[in-house]
Homo-oligomer: A and B are copies of this chain.
């Protein structure tokens, strides 16, 4: 059994409630996109999402994927990751954590952040909505 990926399962009701809890009215596309994001923790691109969901919904358009992404971002269901490559990536985990982007394989790894110690005086009075930490380099399996 070791090394075997256990695919999590999420039933439709769970997915619907997840959306409703985040202020999003469920629809087939939204449920499928959410399901894909929950099952595939690979920080996918819009293209990745499109290709995967297209399997289930052959009438799917790219615009719908972007619409869904925009809605999910707005409702804080996902966060965007800009690694510097042109394609944005998306993360179903909206908590503050770090991302390591490998310059070779292009994969993005999560890592936990305990704290960021910074000089708060410069940002005095600023409203901070997002805190993003991005490391870049070469991952263990590529070096």
- Nearest residue (CB) in B for A131 is B135
Answer whether A133 and B116 are a contact pair too, CB < 8 Å, given A100-B128, A140-B126. yes
- Nearest residue (CB) in B for A128 is B137
Contact check, B123 vs A112: say whether CB atoms are below 8 A apart: no
A143 — which chain B residues lie within 8 A by C-beta? 125-127
Q: Once bound together, how far apart are the Cα atoms of A18 and B136, in whole Å?
A: 26
A126 — which chain B residues lie within 8 A by C-beta? 100, 102, 109, 135, 137-140, 143
Tell me whether chain A's interface is mostly helix, strand or loop, or mixed. Answer: strand
Q: Once bound together, how far apart are the Cα atoms of A112 and B122, in whole Å?
A: 8
Q: How many copies altogether?
A: 2
Which size bracket describes the interface of A in this complex? 35 or more
A115 in the interface, Cβ–Cβ < 8 Å?
yes
20 A-B pairs whose Cβ atoms sit less than 8 Å apart in the complex: A80-B84, A98-B116, A100-B123, A109-B126, A112-B119, A112-B122, A113-B117, A118-B133, A126-B137, A126-B138, A127-B138, A127-B143, A128-B136, A129-B137, A129-B138, A131-B133, A131-B134, A132-B136, A133-B133, A134-B134
7 additional A-B pairs beyond A82-B84, A118-B133, beta carbons within 8 Å, are A109-B126, A112-B122, A126-B137, A128-B137, A131-B133, A132-B133, A133-B134
Interface set of A (CB-CB < 8 Å, partner B)? 80, 82-84, 88, 98, 100, 102-103, 109-119, 122-140, 143
